[in-house]
Amino acid sequence: MPVLDLRPLPPPERHRRVHEELDALDPGETLDLINDHRPAPLRYELQATRPGQYEWEDGDDGPERWTASITCRARIVDARPILAEGGEPFDSIMAGVAALEEGQPLVVLVPFEPVPLEGVLSAQGFTWEAETLDGGDWRVVFRQAS
């Protein structure tokens, strides 16, 4: 289980670092956070920007150490390394689609907006939301339409 101690990091880097760690989790994996204050703003941010993708559990409650455990519910496919090596990530993404449980979101990380993939999965009944990340990469969340 990965542990991320945020205390030594400068405050402006903390949320970005947490997001990177969360995007590396498999479904059911948990990231344990250690912080120098209650991480409530991060919790609210995740609830607002990544609804249904993580489960949050508070741990230690100060006064010098606060902890939380964040469990991944989403299936995340990071296509960036495949593309960087000149490969085609479509089969990996479709394997992720095939492995989805009911109500589970699929998150695809890519260096560009995957418009063709959005079309393919839309035709299969998925909705999607795309956002640009720092550095120009994209994070696209696909959900099975209900």
pLDDT tens-digit series, residues 10-67 = 999 999 999 999 999 999 999 999 999 999 999 999 999 999 999 999 999 989 899 9
Pair 22, 68 in one domain:
yes
Do 138 and 85 sit in the same domain of this protein?
yes
Mean pLDDT over residues 96-112, rounded?
96
Are 7 and 58 in the same domain? yes
CA distance 97 to 104: 10
List pLDDT tens digits, range 124-139.
999 999 999 988 999 9
Question: Which of the listed residues 48, 72, 96 is the one where a domain comes to its end?
Answer: 72
Same domain, 79 and 140: yes
| In the predicted structure, residue 146 carries a pLDDT above the cut 80 | no
The residue among 43, 72, 101 that closes a domain is: 72
Name the residue range of residue 63's domain.
3-72
pTM comes to 0.89
CATH number, domain at 100?
A: 3.30.110.40
Confidence of residue 145 (pLDDT cuts 50, 70, 90): confident
